Structure 1
Amino acid sequence: MQLNEWYFEYEIQKNRPGLLGDISSLIGMLGINIMTINGVDTMKRGMLLGCERDDQANRLASILQTMDNITVVKFRKPTLRDLLAVRHGRYIQRDEDDKKTFRFVRDELGILVDFMAELFKQPGHKLIGIRGMPRVGKTESIVASSVCANKKWLFVSSTLIKQTLRNQLIKDEYSSDNVFIIDGILSHRKANEQHWQLVREIMALPSVKVIEHPDIFVRQTEYKIDDFDYIIELRNDDNEIIKYEMNDQMDLNNNPFKQFDF
């Protein structure tokens, strides 16, 4: 029988010996399986639970509310952030004002790869933008996520090894199972109309598209930042500012994007 998943997170108010054992025993007495457990903060723990019936979870939630030593923070069907939090022991940073923007630093590349891989596994159209300075690990993370998701990745424009700028794909490459990677800066600088026609064809596919430097990409196209399903920001550290030093009046082959030729 397939179990219904629930995510339970609680904050410890009084950390006495045997507290976790008491909670685990209660969950077991109600016939609920603990599938995963992990600390998600200094005084918080998260659990992924498996229930045969949702009324078991509802009964557990009502009992937990009466316990003095803990405060129930979350009790719900798990979101992707919940699954990754209990898997990695920390929550992904999310912009408070823009809920589709997620922030990572270079030390969290493992979590970033796991996060994107889960997004790649979801069927249908998905437009993902990723911001970051040169050599922070953007393209490598996209490729690694594609491997984890068992997806084939295709560079439409890229500077990972050498400058790649494609004007056409072969028939088999139009598969909706592929992950299409576009470097917004390279396409903005170097592309001709054939390349942009290809980009429009790819954007119409029910597949995953990952745009590096989405803010530059939208300058050249009819797309807007609001069209993106997710925006990922990757920094070397929390204090780094992602900045594009450019002057639109200057020759695009010279100074504006010179720092991004890597």
Structure 2
Amino acid sequence: MEWYFEYIIHQNRPGVLGDVATLLGLLGINIKMINGLAPQRRGLIILSDNHSKIITLKRALANSTTVEITALRRPTLIDRINLQHGKMIHRSPDNPNTFRFTRDDLGMLVDFLGGLLQKSCPVVGVRGMPRVGKTESIIAACVHANKKWIMVSSTLMRQVMRNNLTEEELADDCVLVIDGIVSTFRASQKHRELLKEIMKIPIPKVIEHPDILLREGDFSPDIIDYTIELRRTEDEEINYELVCQNFSSFDIS
């Protein structure tokens, strides 16, 4: 059975990792993956066939002045991606289901979104300013998840605004990609009706500019399971007031 084991180092001296690895070896716990996540913070995926060994590990390090356990649990998708990339996905302090990335983290974003798309049928909102790489990241994540991407509305190469979908396009191996701006400001009545229908269908959906779709499309915020924010830099402001002034500047996502 896999466990996610994370600790911070209070006394950074030579041999700390060796001491931890030795303890795991004495307990008969194998290390499957290990990486540094931040200064003085390490994460591991460990393997143990006996839950009592995990309890013993926790007790053995409980009074340590060198390291402090910050996590010892079954690994999540985020844990695995953090370890794979050697840094931590940033969550919004106001909403734990909102995840923040910059363009430097595109590989991490693709792995994360691809992992979400492999789970049941999530609805994911992707926020970001124009030309930051939202649509390209969504397509890459679909490839990563081995899913077909179906553009319900988009301006990636040319404007797309579908009025109907085939049964094959609503299959489990498809992801519906919706541009919230195109689907509200430029939508026909048939397109709006299609949106309402597909929102009721349990199939993965990714919505670019979800703020606009929720505000103008008469949808409840509860339809969004996860929100991803993509910025050029950490301090870039995502300002949708620009859309009200000149939404044509968002033609290329």
Q: Which amino acid aligns with 1:106?
A: R
Which TM-score applies when normalising by structure 1? 0.92
Match of 1:38, SS? strand
Deviation at 1:247, TM superposition (A): 7.8
Q: Which amino acid aligns with 1:87?
A: Q
Counterpart for residue 47 of structure 2: 50
Aligned partners of 2:129, 2:205: CA distance in 1, in Å? 20
Q: Which amino acid aligns with 2:20?
A: I
Counterpart for residue 196 of structure 2: 200
5 Å-filtered alignment, 1:1-262, equals: 4-123=1-120, 125-245=121-241, 256-262=246-252
CA contact 1:245–1:257 (8 Å) conserved in 2: no
Using the aligned pairs only, state the percent identity.
47
Which TM-score applies when normalising by structure 2? 0.95
| Structure 2 gaps, min length 5 | none
Q: Structure 1 stretch 216-225 or stretch 106-115: which is displaced more?
A: 216-225
Match of 2:235, SS? coil
Aligned partners of 2:103, 2:56: CA distance in 1, in Å? 42
Task: Please give the root-mean-square deviation of Cα atoms over the aligned residues, in Å.
Answer: 1.4
Match of 1:118, SS? helix
Q: Structure 1 stretch 170-179 or stretch 228-237: which is displaced more?
A: 170-179
The aligned length equals 252
Aligned partners of 1:217, 1:245: CA distance in 2, in Å? 14
| Structure 1 gaps, min length 5 | 249-254
Aligned partners of 1:127, 1:15: CA distance in 2, in Å? 43
CA contact 1:146–1:153 (8 Å) conserved in 2: yes
Aligned partners of 1:247, 1:28: CA distance in 2, in Å? 58
Q: Which amino acid aligns with 2:43?
A: G
